Amino acid sequence: MSTDRRTLLADAAIDVLAGTGIRGLTHRAVDRAANLPPGTTSAYYRTRSALLTALVRRLVALDQAELRELGEHTPVLRNAGELTAGLTLLVERRLAAEGRGRSLARYACAIESVHHTELREILVPRRNPARQAVTDFLAAQGVQDPEGRTVTLLTCVDGLVFDRLVNGGGVTEAEIGGLVAAALR
C-alpha cells in the first residue's frame, strides 16, 4: 500500500508543481491535491527535498514509459516525413492536457536542478526506444555522429515545447520538419 500511496503523492506533487510553480509545492498543498489528511505527505516525505526527489523520479518514470511506448509502437522510420510526424505527435502530447502539466513540472524541476545536483542526475536523458529510433534513422541516412545529432534535434524539439508553454500556441509539422531537415544536413 505504501508504494501506491507514494505514487499517489508524487503524482499529486506533479500536479501541484504544474499548477502553482515551485513556491506552491508544499506538503500541505500535496495533501490537498491528493485528497488526503493533513500530514500524510510529510509522513512519507519528511523534507521538501525528499518530496521534490520523489516528484522528479516519478516524472522521469512517466516520461520514460511514454517514450518507451512510442518507440515500441513506431515502425522503423523510413523517411524524414515519418520522423517529422512522430516528433510532431510527441510535441502535441506534451502541450495538451496531462502532457502540459508534466511539461510544466519538468521545466520547473530542470531549473531547480541547477541548485540541486541530485535532481540533475535523475533528470539526465536516458536511452529509450523512441530516442533510439531517431538515432537509428539518422545513422541510416548517413548522418555523421547520429547520437550527437539526435541530442541536438531532441533538444531543439524540447525548446519548441518550452516556447509554446511560455508563449502559447501550438507547433506545426513545418516547424518540426525544419528541425529534422537541419539534423539531416
The answer to the question of residue 136 being in a domain is: yes
DSSP 113: T
Question: Residue 2 — pLDDT band, cuts 50, 70, 90?
Answer: low
Contact indicator for 45, 90 with CB cutoff of 8 Å: no
Q: What gap in Å lies between CA 16 and CA 12, rounded to an integer?
A: 6
Residue 30 cell numbers, joined: 500535496
Q: In the chain, how many domains are there?
A: 1
The pLDDT assigned to 1 comes to 43
- Residue range 116-136, pLDDT digits in tens: 888 988 888 777 778 888 999
Q: Grid coordinates standing for 14?
A: 506533479
Q: Which residues form the domain of 97?
A: 53-184
Nearest partner of 157 among 167, 149, 147, 145, judged by Cα: 149
Rounded Cα distance, 37 and 133, in Å:
45
* Residue 43 falls inside a structural domain: no
Tens digits of residue pLDDT in 64-117: 888 888 877 777 888 999 999 989 989 999 999 878 999 999 999 999 999 988
CATH number, domain at 157? 1.10.357.10
pLDDT in tens, 135-145: 999 999 999 99
Report the first-to-last Cα separation within the chain, whole angstroms: 52
**pLDDT tens digit sequence for 39-57:** 999 999 999 999 999 999 9
